[in-house]
Chains A and B, each alone.
Chain A
Amino acid sequence: MTPVITTRDICRYFGDDEDILVKAVDHVSIDIEPGEFTAVIGPSGSGKTTLLHLIGGLDNPTSGIVELSGTNIAQMSAAELSDFRRDHIGFIFQAYNLIPVLSAEENIEYIMLLQGIDAATRKQRVHNMLAQVGLDGLGRRRPNKLSGGQQQRVAIARAMASRPDIILADEPTANLDSRTGIALLDVMRELNEEHKMTFVFSTHDEKIMSRATRLIHMHDGEIEKDERK
């Protein structure tokens, strides 16, 4: 099977001076197959978030290659990269990052609008996604009228509504209590199984890790261990 994500020897260093050079990601090579539910784990500062940013094209590697669905994203222009992220990658952030002036429904609809999807399809998908993440009836609420867990569910719905190839989630449960966090991971797992969508998420929560089908252990920017369950 062709990997949906391939990184070859990617490095991301911060700082120019050798004495203060921070090797956030150091020579990381991974292949992630379609439909995998992968957790990147490790302590704070191990390079999990930077790795997700590099995979998602939010940051450029100092060296190495990142390929998503066979496309080298380093060769894309800013606009091409925006379009690529819009069409192929769904993001779920630790701090939810919903657009505060838009309702839950509108937040979910936003990327589809950028994709040029017609209004009827958008409405249908928004309705379905809200039902799938358990937010039926809360679609018209703005983010400040939703709890943290509800906001993160909206963020999951937003990430999935555009039908991306990959969903990258950076510590999606870090701001939630453990019960809500596990419930949310269950939602993500269900969606992964139902839609065969590839999930890569970072976490340092051991309860969350147990839901993953693959664990990539990172330490000091390097992959320490890569295990499939």
Chain B
Amino acid sequence: MLLLKLAIRNIFRQRRRSLLTALSMSGGYVLCAISFSVSEGSYNNAIRFFTLDHTGHVQIHKGNYLRRPKLHKTIDDPAALSETLDNNDNIEHHTLRVFAPALAYSDTDNTQVNVIGVDPTREKRTSRLAKKVTSGNYISDKVNPDSYYSAMIGTGIATSLNISIGDELILISQGADGSVANDIYIVGAIVGNKDSLDKSSVFLPLDAAQEFLSMQGKIHEVAILLKDESKSREFAASLQKQLPELSIDPWQIVEETFYMTMQADQQGMQAMLFIIIFIVFIGVLNTILMSVLERTREFGVLKAIGTRPKTIVSLITLETALLSMMSFFVGLVFAIPIIAWFAFVGIELPEPVDFGGVQLRFFTGEISTYVFATPLAWIMFFALLVCIPAGIRAGRILPTQAMGSH
């Protein structure tokens, strides 16, 4: 207790210097916490938009469909699988999909397209597909009075084929049974814009797509939205044990390139912040060494009257740790409102950024324990690190020499 009292009083002994040191540490903390918030915010936004756009948090396929998609690599009993997933408490929603390349024709033109069959109701809950409709109406699994299913097409197709809402779209492909698949659909909606990932996609109701591709109720993919997106890896691993005959992958595997790029970017950011904190602590080291130098005589006396070298090292460490904690609390006072503003208001971008057809209008931050605790952990780490040379110096002081110094 007396050691703590001694440490606190030593901090307040040189008020101005302690204040300046604390401010530099607080500044470093605030800078780091904001940077973490903004970077985490951007990454999480990107992940959120990416996963909600089409990937989901976890996907289920048959075999190696994810790496080598083939029409015949199907999940054969989607109804039973769907029931299993509906009963899983960790799952918010899931949707079923089929995929196939096809040729699309209008009266005058043709182009290559990706046919995506989706369950209209489930897809609306699981992805942002419904929100990406720029004109027309979201697809329905009902046929129109002329017995045609409606299709949603990307803007690229609308431009290439020069068609719009209400026009006919002819699709030709190969069926799963080897037959030639062809059918006519009515364009019900246009999806996204010219830069969207969906610009060459044709979205059909799942039943219509299965019928078109002769898939007899089979599907290629299940996309799952979890209640807790951070548990995607654990959830995928646990579901994999439950469904060993299928391949279950978290979004980090499904979108591996995106994930790796994001990780590399995040590590680069952390390295930069680490350097900033390191520079701040060179200044702190200087202050602590100066303080030890000024108190050489006092440390000499403490040693002379029976204080062990390690107790002196503990005293210096305690002083630095206390100063760091005080700096942290001061920093927190400034960091909380700034981070809260970034998280709840954010910066409105002058031009909206298109992200897979989704318009990002705000640049927002993240408010979480990680954002506040990580810079604190770094500050404490560096604070204890700078105590080593200062402590060694103080611990080695010879009482007779020290007491002769002023």
Q: Give A contacts to B, CB under 8 Å.
A: 53, 56, 58-59, 78-79, 82-83, 85-87, 89, 91, 93, 95, 97, 99-102, 106, 109-111, 113-114, 158, 162
A79 B6 Cβ-Cβ under 8 A: no
Chain B residues positioned under 8 Å from A91 (CB to CB): 304-305
B101 on the interface (CB 8 Å rule)?
A: no
Interface string of B277-314 (1 = CB under 8 A from A): 00000000000000000000110011111111111000
Which of under 10, 10 to 19, 20 to 34, or 35 or more describes the interface residues of B?
20 to 34
B301 A97 Cβ-Cβ under 8 A: yes
Can you list the 6 inter-chain pairs with the closest CB atoms, starting with the nearest? A86-B306, A101-B9, A97-B301, A85-B306, A82-B308, A58-B399
Measured in the bound complex, the distance between the Cα atoms of B306 and A83 in whole Å is 6
Measured in the bound complex, the distance between the Cα atoms of B188 and A153 in whole Å is 99
Measured in the bound complex, the distance between the Cα atoms of B300 and A93 in whole Å is 12
Measured in the bound complex, the distance between the Cα atoms of B301 and A58 in whole Å is 10
A82 B301 Cβ-Cβ under 8 A: no
23 contacts between A and B (CB under 8 A): A53-B400, A56-B304, A58-B400, A59-B400, A79-B308, A79-B310, A82-B306, A82-B307, A82-B309, A83-B306, A85-B304, A86-B306, A86-B307, A89-B306, A93-B301, A99-B6, A99-B302, A102-B6, A106-B5, A109-B2, A110-B2, A111-B306, A158-B305
| Known interface pairs A87-B306, A109-B2; A102-B9 also in contact (CB < 8 Å) | yes
| Known interface pairs A58-B399, A93-B403, A114-B311; A99-B298 also in contact (CB < 8 Å) | yes
Q: A58-B304, A93-B301, A97-B301 are in contact. List 11 more A-B contacts (CB 8 A).
A: A78-B309, A79-B309, A79-B310, A86-B306, A87-B306, A106-B2, A110-B305, A113-B2, A114-B306, A114-B308, A158-B305
Chain A residues positioned under 8 Å from B303 (CB to CB): 82
CB of B79, distance to nearest CB on chain A (Å):
74
B114 on the interface (CB 8 Å rule)?
A: no
Nearest-neighbor residue (CB-CB) of A162 within chain B: B306
Interface string of B193-204 (1 = CB under 8 A from A): 000000000000
CB of B12, distance to nearest CB on chain A (Å):
8
Nearest-neighbor residue (CB-CB) of A119 within chain B: B1
Nearest-neighbor residue (CB-CB) of B8 within chain A: A101
Chain A residues positioned under 8 Å from B304 (CB to CB): 56, 58, 85, 91, 93, 97
B10 on the interface (CB 8 Å rule)?
A: yes
B67 on the interface (CB 8 Å rule)?
A: no
Chain A residues positioned under 8 Å from B400 (CB to CB): 53, 58-59
Measured in the bound complex, the distance between the Cα atoms of B340 and A117 in whole Å is 50
Measured in the bound complex, the distance between the Cα atoms of B2 and A95 in whole Å is 23
| Residue from the list B6, B305, B310 in contact with A101, Cβ < 8 A | B6
